[in-house]
Structure formats: C-alpha cells, structure tokens
Amino acid sequence: MGHQHWHDPACGGAAFLVPIAQRMAQALASEGLGPKAVLKKVEAQISGNDLDKTLLAISTQFLLMALSPYVTRSGYTPKFNLKNCDGLLVTGGEENAPDVIACNPPYRKLNAAETRKYTSRFHDVIRNQPNIYGLFIRKTIDVVRAGGLVGLLTPTSFLSGASFSKLRTSMTECTEVLQLDMLSDRDSMFIAVEQETAITVLRKSPGLGLSQSNPDVSVLSPTGEYTDIGKCFLSKSGGPWPIPRSASDAKLIAQATQWKSRLADYGYTPKVGHLVAYRDERPRFSKKPKLKGQSCVMPILWAGDITVDGLVHGRLTKQKRTDYFVQVPSPNHSSVVTRPCVVLQRLTSSDQPHRLITSAVPAEWLKAHGGFVAENHVISLIANDDCAVSPEILSALLNSPVINRLFKAISGATNVAVSELNELPLPDPNELRKALVHNANINTAVREAFGINA
C-alpha cells in the first residue's frame, strides 16, 4: 500500500482518494517514516482528475483534513496531483502509469456530439449510444500499468447490456477479472440510485488471451459483510455475463451453460411496443368508438394490463388511465400486432422477485379486436407459423420461478432488453412438451425438462 501509485480518473469529492491516502500514510508511518517523509510519498503517489473544479478544491481540503496529524506534526503542506481535465482524454506515458486505479465513474448515456468526440479513442468498445461509464472502464484499463489493478464501482448493466458487448470482449482480452461484488440493498448505500451496483476488480493482463475469466463473486451487504457465492464464467464472445446473486443461483447458472435452446427455438420474435405515449399524436379513446372510412380503432396494451395471472385490458392502474384505444390508419398498420403472442412488461427492477412478468394474449380477445397496439413499455413475443408451444405455455414458462432466477442473473439492467430475452437459456421445447404431459405444475415441468434434480 505504501509504495504504489493510486489514481482516480473521476475523483469528484475524493470519496476514494481520502481513505486511500489515510491508509497509505498509516502504512508508511508504520515503516518508520517521519511525518514529512510520509506526506512527500503520499503527494507523489495519489492522483486524480475531474471536470469539476469545485470538487477538486473540496478534494484538496478533504485530503488535508484526513492527513492533518502529519501536517500538524511536520509543518509541511502537501500539494496533490489533482487535475481539472477530462479523465477520458488525458494521456500519460507508461513510466507514469499508476499501479492501482479506483474509480466510481459518471454514468449516463452520451449524446451524438459527445459520442463523436470520443469515437476515435474508444471505437473498439463503442456500440450504439454508449454510456460514459463503459468508456471509463476502458480508459482505466488503458491507463493502469501492465499487471496493475483496477477497482470499479459501477452499475451492473455492463454485465449484460447489448451496447456493452464490445466492452465485455475487450475486458476479457486485456484483463483478468478477479472479483465481482454485487451490492445488495443499494438503497441503503446510495441515495436515489435506481440501478443495481457492483464492484469489479481486474488485473491488466495484456496478451493473456484468456478464452474466459472466472472471477469470484460475492454479495456485499450495507454493513460491509461479504458472502461468497462462488465463481462465474465470463465468456469472450460479447454475450451477456450471467452473475449469480446467491449460492443456489451459481449452481443454476453453471447448469444453464448446458442449455442451448433460446426464444428463437420456440418460434417467437420479440418486438418492442410501438406507441410512445408522450409523442404519439393518433387519437386515443377510453371506449371503442365507431369510425367511418378506412380508419379503425385498436386496443392499446399498457404494461399495467399484464399480470402473471393473465391479461386484463383496461386494468385500473395507479395512474387511472383512460386511454385504452387508439386510432390506426388500417388494421394492417405496422404498429398493430395481429398474430398470437405473449406480452411482457419491459421495465422491471432487479430487486423485484419477478423480472419477467408476462401474459398470453387470449385468442378470443385478439380475434374480437383484430389486433392491438402495444405501448412502448411492453414487449410482444410474436408467434411464428412454426412456433413450438402455445402462447399460454410460453407465458407460463417465462413466468416460472426457475426462468426468473436465470433471467435475474443474466440481466443487470432495469429494463428487460430484447437482446437479453434472446440470450435467455430455455429448456428444449420438445423436452418441455414431454414434461408437461405428466406435470401440471410448470415449474416442475421446467425443472424436469432442464434435468434439474435439486
């Protein structure tokens, strides 16, 4: 601790640098260094960047307060290497490369102009509209010395999101991921943080060329206790990294690597709901009116209409909605779903026990209306002609506890992404059909089809 250079490229108010400086000072003092020598070493061995000048000034004061026993005894006031600059654009030679980086990067989606600014440096990890924290992860790997360690406190969406697929591949190519700590009960650790959060520790290992990393996984409680969950397997393919949240999940995920069937094998295609309520200008109605001419009116399916016990069109939600029908130019309009399908809530949080909340769309209801328009927080899983099971069976499968546990391990984001649904391991549809012949309970049938005994 006493002889390594520690860096935070988005150091803000020094929440990380302060404890690092304190521990470094203690380690050096315990080696017998006097207070001035301690401060000289600490000022040379910690550094940070931030865009916010005020936060950097506060950081300097916090560091001085944290080291005040040494400052008072020596009469020496250290100057800290805190630079007001873009942590993503700084350059430095290998000789100045820090030994350890600790970072809690900013997180938000970059707009098109910002993305252009960073594209030439980060083209190997940018896909779609990137989140800035993904670029910071890549930057920390670039900046730390070869063999050095990086510790990151970030949302968990990089573990599974499609837009982070190139970052995942690059992480497995350039580093060995050593440890993943999933933060339980994030509400008690962070104020107003909606995303699930993790600490990732990795070692820069250029040229290691691992086909996969096998980090240890722990769950970290608000009181700082770690519960070991086991290991997980992070593939290089860019696909989602399933991370267990409990020891029993670890076993399930290990088994799931054998399960090769996916939603496509069931003959269903996901489609995100077309109607974005705040910008859709088509007339909407509380009751189905009779219209003249070509136009027709279709029911709108809102996420609140979908329950694990079935679809209830027009179900009273907290918002007391009154718009349950929308005018469309024709029954064949691209926004209208006419085929048999399952509908699924698109926004569920990772701390809900049920991440997949689905209903089959009843055939009689679909026939009576000729179709429906899904609101944007609904995903329709639309049956192809050769679908392997009915919408009722697919819905029961996706609502089952086993599949929900698997999905929870695969998805670290707050929304249910189409890419994650497509990657979700499912039982072989033939095995499931066979198991359903003698099992009325879907969860028992799913477990039998998967060959799960425990």
Q: Using CB under 6 A as the criterion, which residues of the chain lie in contact with ligand SAM when the complex forms?
A: 10-16, 49-52, 55, 86-88, 104, 106
User: How many residues does this entry show for the chain?
Assistant: 454
Task: To the nearest 10°, report the CA torsion of 15, 18, 19, 20.
Answer: 110
Least CB distance to ligand SAM at residue 101 (A): 12
Pick 62 or 233: Cβ nearer ligand SAM: 62
* Residue 394 CB contacts under 8 Å (≥ 6 apart), including other chains: 266, 268, 342, 358, 360, 381, 387
Q: Which residues contact 359 (CB under 8 A, 6 or more apart)?
A: 305, 306, 307, 308, 310, 311, 342, 343, 395
Nearer to ligand SAM, 51 or 418 (CB): 51
By beta-carbon proximity to ligand SAM, the closer residue of 87 and 161 is: 87
**CA–CA gap between residue 7 and residue 35 (Å, rounded):** 22
Dist. CA 267–CA 387, nearest whole Å:
4
CB neighbour class for 410 (10 Å; exposed up to 12, middle 13-18, buried from 19): buried
Mark 373-395 as b/e (b = at least 16 C-beta within 10 Å).
Answer: bbbbbbbbbbbeeebbbebbbbb
Shortest distance, CB of residue 131 to ligand SAM, whole angstroms? 12
- Report the residue number, 5 or 377, with the smaller CB distance to ligand SAM: 5
Q: In this structure, are residues 380 and 273 in contact, taking their beta carbons and an 8 Å threshold?
A: yes
What one-character-per-residue DSSP string does 391-404 give? HHHHHHHHHSHHHH
- H or E, element range at 122: helix 112-122
The DSSP secondary-structure symbol of 346 reads S
107 vs 285, beta carbon nearer ligand SAM: 107
- The minimum distance between CB 78 and ligand SAM, in angstroms, equals 19
Amino acid present at 357: I
| Alpha helix ranges (H) inside 328-428 | 363-369, 391-399, 401-410, 418-423
Minimum Å distance from CB 90 to ligand SAM? Answer: 8
Nearest distance in Å: CB 415, ligand SAM: 21
Nearer to ligand SAM, 133 or 268 (CB): 133
In angstroms, what is the minimal distance from the CB of 86 to ligand SAM?
A: 4
User: Coil, strand or helix: which one is 62?
Assistant: helix
What is the smallest separation between the CB atom of 51 and ligand SAM, expressed in angstroms?
Answer: 4
Nearer CB in complex with ligand SAM: 118/450: 118
| Cα 2 versus chain centre, distance | 35
Question: What sign for the dihedral angle of Cα 125, 129, 134, 136?
Answer: positive
Comparison of 15 and 29: residue with beta carbon closer to ligand SAM: 15
Q: Min. distance of Cβ 176 from ligand SAM in angstroms?
A: 24
How many Cβ atoms are within 10 Å of 280's Cβ, its own excluded?
A: 17
Per-residue tokens: 289: 């009116």
Q: Judged by CB, which is closer to ligand SAM: 14, or 378?
A: 14
CA angle 48, 69, 26 (to 5 degrees): 65
Tell the smallest beta-carbon distance from residue 20 to ligand SAM (Å): 11
Tell me how far, at minimum, the Cβ of 435 lies from ligand SAM, in Å. 47
Cβ-based nearer residue to ligand SAM, 131 or 358: 131
Note the Cα 109 to chain centre separation in Å.
13
Residue with tokens 């094998």: 265
**CB 238 → ligand SAM: shortest distance, Å?**
25
Which lies closer to ligand SAM via its Cβ, residue 16 or residue 325? Answer: 16
Cβ-proximal residue to ligand SAM, closest one: 12
Please list, in sequence order, all residues whose beta carbon lies within 8 angstroms of the beta carbon of residue 367, skipping any fewer than 6 positions away.
Answer: none
| Short-list 402, 393, 310, CA closest to 358 | 310
